[in-house]
Amino acid sequence: MSAPQGRDAALHSALSIDADWQAFLRHFDLSRGFSFLLLLVDSCENAGFLREDLSRHLTEIGSGPIEDILSWCEPTGSLEELNNLPSLLRYSKFSHALGAIWCEAVASESDPQIERWRREWWLCFSRLNQVRNILQRTIPCPLVFVGAPWVQKTVREAAPDLWSIRSSVSRIFLRTTARNLLEGQILDSDVIPRTSDIADPEYALKMAERLHVRGSAREEAEMLNIAGSALVMKEQFAEATPILQRAQMLLLQTPDLRRELAENEIWLGIAYRRLGQLSEAERVLRDAIETIEMFDSPQPSLLASALHNLAIVLGQQGAVEESISLLQRTLSSQIRSLGEDHPFVARLWLDLGSLLHRHQRHVEAESAYRKALSIQSTSLGREQPDTADVLSNLGLLHQAMGHHHEAEVEFRKALAIWEKTLGSRHPRVHTGYYNLAINLYQAGRIQEAERSARKAFEIEMEAEGYLSPTPYGASMILALVLDAQDRKAEAKAVALRGFDLFMKASLKSHPPVSSVEPILNGYLELFRHLGIAEHLYSRQLEDAIADAET
C-alpha cells in the first residue's frame, strides 16, 4: 500500500503518536474472534481516514481485510440501511479470513434531523441487543461501529447487554498531537476530558490477569500498560500508578521491550506529576529519556513526549529557564526530524508559547502562537480543533494585556470552530464560552457576559461527572455577573448549585489535589464575597481543601 500523501500524511503522522488510536489498534494485535468496538469520530471524512489506517495496520500484522457492512454518512445516508443492519449482521455468513467488520453511520449533532437519527440508532441497537448471543457465535472477527460522539449514550442505554461485552470505546478527533502526553495550555479546562471514550481499563486488567496465570509476562505487561494509560486518560491517577508500576517491573525484566518500557515510564511520569509527586515524576521521566536514547534508531516523537513532560515538571518545581530550554531543545530536534511545517511541530510551538505566556513573556509567547497557527492553517486547514486551541490561547494573551476587543475576536473564532467540529455541548465549547464571558465581564459588558456565562453554565449542569481540571468555573463567573447587576439572590443560587455539583463530581472522580484546591479556594472567595452562610460553607470548603491535601 502506498504511503499517504499531503494532508493525509500529516494525519497519518498524528495517528502514529495518538495514544487513543494506538490502543485501539493494539486490540487487533492481541485479540482474535468476536469483539465489539465503538469508535467515535467527528466527521465522515475522518471516519474514512481511520478506516484506511486500520486497513493499513491489518495488512502490516498479516490479518485479513475489512468488510464494509454499512457506510452511511449524512446527508446522503439512508435510514433504511440502518434499519436493515441487525438482520444483515444476524444472517450473513462472514469469512473467517476477515480482519474486521466495519459499520459506519456518522450524523452530526448539529443536523436538523438529529432527533430522527437518534431514534433510528436507538431502534437499531435495541434489535442488536436482542441478538447479541447469536452475533458472538457467528461473527469471527472484531465488529467495529463508527458514529458521532452522541452515539455512545444511545448505545449504552438502548443495548445494555451488548454494551456490557464491549472491548473498547475510543474517541478519535484526529488531533495532530500526542494529546495524552502533551499538556501545556494556559487554561487547564482546555484539556479534553477523558472519561469512558477510551480503552476499557477493566477489560485490559482482566486480560492481564489471564495472561499472568498463563505466565505470559510480555503480554501481561502490554495489557497492564493499556489499563494504566487508560486510567491516566480518565484522570484516575491514584488507580493508574500501581498498575503502571507493576508493568514497569515486568518490562525491566524484558530487555527487548525498551520502547514499551519508555512509554510506560512516560505514563507513570504523568501520573506522578498529576498526583503532585514531582520528584518521582522527574526521576521516571529522566529514566524514560535515558531508555529512548539507547534505541538503535531515533524515536523523535517518543523523545519529544518525554522531554515535554519533564519540562512541565521542572516548570512546576520552579526551574523555569531549564523548562523553557528543554522545550526549545525538543522543538529544534523535531524540526530537524519532521520539518518546520509538521503538525507535531505546531503543537510544540503552542506548548512553548503556553509556558512563556504563563511567565508573562508575552511578546515571545505571541510569536510562538503565531508560528503554531501558521503551520496548522497550512497543514490541516483553519477549521480544526487544534487551530481553535491556538486562537483561544491568543485570546487569553490579548486579555492578559488588556486588549479585550482583540481577545473577543479570537475567542469567537475558536468557539465557531469548536461548535462546528465538536458539537454544541462539548467541553471545549464550555471553555470557549467561559473565556468569552470573563473577557466581556472585564470589559464591562455585563449583559453580554451573562449570555456567554449562561451558555457555559448550561453545559456544566448537563455534564455527567468531572468536566475537566477546572470545571464549574461558569457558575462562578455567572454569579459575579448577576451580582454586578444587583441580582444577589440569583447569584447565590447559581454559586451554590455549581458548588454542589462540583463536590458530587469530585467525590466520584477523585481529581488530583492540584486541580481541586484552586477551585475550592475560588468558591471560598466567592462565598465570602456574596455572604453565603460563611459559618457553614466556608468551613466545609476549608475542610475539603484539607482533605484534598491529605
Q: How confident is the model at residue 498 (pLDDT cuts 50, 70, 90)?
A: confident
Q: What's the pLDDT at 505?
A: 67
User: To which H or E segment does residue 126 belong?
Assistant: helix 114-130
> Do 27 and 166 belong to one domain?
yes
**CATH code of 252's domain:** 1.25.40.10
The Cα 177–Cα 175 span in angstroms is 6
Bigger pLDDT: 376 or 537?
376
Is residue 133 located within the same domain as residue 64? yes
Beta pairing class for 35-41 and 166-172: parallel
Do 157 and 269 lie in one domain? The reply is no
151 lies in a domain?
A: yes
- Phi then psi for residue 172, to 5 deg, are -120, 115
Q: Residue 165: its pLDDT value, please? A: 76
- Tell whether 130 and 84 lie within a shared domain: yes
Domain that holds residue 234: 194-338
In angstroms, how far is CA 377 from the centroid of its own chain?
A: 21
Compute the Cα dihedral for 321, 175, 465, 224 and give only its sign: negative
> Per residue in 98-145, pLDDT tens?
999 999 988 766 566 778 888 888 899 999 999 989 999 999 999 999
Same domain, 296 and 256: yes
pLDDT band at 366 (very low <50, low <70, confident <90, very high): very high
The string over 231-264, giving b where at least 16 C-beta atoms fall within 10 Å of a residue's C-beta and e elsewhere, is: bbbbbbbebbbebbebbbebbeeeeebbebbbbb
Indicate the range of 187-201, 416-430, 468-482, 529-543 predicted with least confidence: 187-201
User: Which range (13-22, 185-194, 391-400) has the least confidence?
Assistant: 185-194
Q: How far apart are CA 49 and CA 9, in angstroms?
A: 11
Whether residue 276 is contained in a domain is answered as yes
> Is the residue at 421 inside a domain?
no
The CA-based angle 56-60-62, given to 5 degrees, is 115
| 408 inside domain | no
* 158 in the same domain as 39: yes
- pTM of structure: 0.56
Asked whether residue 446 is domain-assigned, the answer is: no
| Lowest-confidence region among 173-177, 210-214, 507-511 | 173-177
Q: Residue 191 pLDDT more than 80?
A: no
Per-residue pLDDT band at 155 (split at 50, 70, 90)? confident
Tell me which of 190-194, 287-291, 442-446 is least confident: 190-194
Phi and psi dihedrals of 207, rounded to 5? -65, -40
Res 506: pLDDT: 64
